[in-house]
Amino acid sequence: MSTSLNGRTKLVGVMGWPVEHSLSPQMHNAAFAALGLNCCYVPLAVPPDHLPQAVAGLAALGFVGSNVTVPHKQAVWACVDELSEDAQAVSAVNTLIRRDGKWVGGNSDIPGFLMSLEEEGFLPRGKRALVLGAGGAARGIVYALARAGAQVTLLNRTVERGEALVREISRLLPGRSLEARALLPEELGKARDDAELLVNTTPLGMWPRVEASPWPDDLPFPAHLTVFDLVYNPLRTRLLSQAQAAGAKAIGGLKMLVYQGAISFRWWFDVMPPTDVMYRACVDEMARR
Ligand code: NAP
């Protein structure tokens, strides 16, 4: 947050219900402070039946934009004037941008995931990726990886849900290599030698059930894998500990949270914010809670 709020302060925020858990206010306000920008990012608790009024209200109040989180990522479609290609593809808007008096709905999770992966030195083109889970987050991850040229095998507890997601992404991106299987130890065992990237999009390992992991204890972990766990609380999940113990590269979900935030920030202010400052602000806030 800017040290002195005044009539020229630019406003952004995050609409969710509930929204208290969000780290985005701390993350963005730390970036504003680091850059000396006269801007402020506020949490906006918006009940589902007030979403259209809230979006119209943001325009009336002169907001530059907003993030959108659970449970509004789909419903907010009806409130925007334009949708980006990514938001349309994955049926989810996480960023509103005010442009020429209109609301544009975008999705920064997709470029945020790819940027955080590439920043760690992993380029998905031509690589084999294993994605665990087939929920809302998996949709964006599978789409992002397939579009970036990776071959994707999706493993999900409910195999039909995984198959449906693969069918949907194959329709959007014809000709890509995509398949779905059951999330079972034998399937992990079969896929692990060829895979170069493992992305966990299930909540397994998330606080308070921190002992859980999608990787079975009796299955040796391949050292050649890069592992990206979308879970960010705790910062070091059991899956990441298993990966590190085997000498594999481990990337935590906070990185994606920070990069999706940084990309939204860039869409609003045309400046790439300092991601290290944003990351540190999230870690500090998590330690305070
Ligand atoms: P979701 O829509 O509820 O999907 C959850 C997926 O995990 C489903 O495919 C589900 O399988 C599977 N799953 C749930 N419990 C399981 C279990 N006990 N064993 C095996 N599979 C299980 O959730 P989501 O919105 O995709 O979010 C998933 C995780 O990603 C959450 O931890 C969330 O915090 C994290 N996330 C992180 C970021 C980030 O920026 N780092 C962004 C988005 C989400 P079924 O289909 O069989 O039910």
136 touches ligand 1 (CB under 6 Å): yes
Nearest to 254 by CA among 120, 96, 156: 120
Question: Could you give the CA distance from residue 184 to residue 157 in angstroms, rounded to a whole number?
Answer: 8
Asked if the model's pLDDT at residue 228 lies above 60, the reply is: yes
Of the listed 73, 102, 127, 190, which one is catalytic?
A: 73
Task: Specify the fold of 10-107+259-288.
Answer: Rossmann fold (3.40.50)
Q: For residue 4, what pLDDT band results from cuts at 50, 70 and 90?
A: confident
Per CATH, the number for 111-251 is 3.40.50.720
| pLDDT exceeds 70 at position 2 | no
Q: How far apart are CA 71 and CA 146, in angstroms?
A: 26
Question: Could you report the per-residue pLDDT of 158-186, keeping only the tens digit for each?
Answer: 999 999 999 999 999 999 999 999 999 99
CATH 3.40.50.10860 residue window(s) in the chain: 10-107+259-288
| CATH 3.40.50.720 intervals, the chain | 111-251
The answer on pLDDT for 3 being more than 90 is no
**Concatenated DSSP letters of 172-192:** HSTT--EEEEE--HHHHHHHT
Atom 27 (ligand 1) nearest CA: 137
Mutate to test the pocket of ligand 1, among 67, 230, 238 (most ligand atoms within 8 A of CB): 230
Q: Which residues contact 29 (CB under 8 A, 6 or more apart)?
A: 1, 40, 41, 281
The whole model's pTM is what?
Answer: 0.96
10 is catalytic: no
